[in-house]
Amino acid sequence: MIELVLTVCLMASPNECRHQRMPFDGPLMACAMNGQIAAVEWLQTHPKWRLNRWRCGPPEIAA
């Protein structure tokens, strides 16, 4: 299983950041190619947050 990990920060408080973990169904290469699309979809439903970075990997490594 692959995990997409978004590092997001509050727009109103840029120093307040967190990791948003989402399971990704597919191989690592597919996550690397489509992770940005999934990140944009997440941001559309969470307008108070901005994306700082994203990455893919096995759950124990993606931290």
* 31, amino acid identity: C
C-alpha separations of 17 from 1, 36, 60 in Å: 25, 18, 20
What pTM does this model have?
Answer: 0.84
Give the CA count within 13 Å in the CB-facing half-sphere of 2: 15
Structure tokens given for 15: 């120093």
Label residue 1 by pLDDT band (50, 70, 90). confident
pLDDT for 25-47, tens place per residue?
899 999 999 999 999 999 999 99
Cβ atoms < 10 Å from Cβ of 10: 13
Tell me the C-alpha distance between 11 and 62, whole Å. Answer: 24
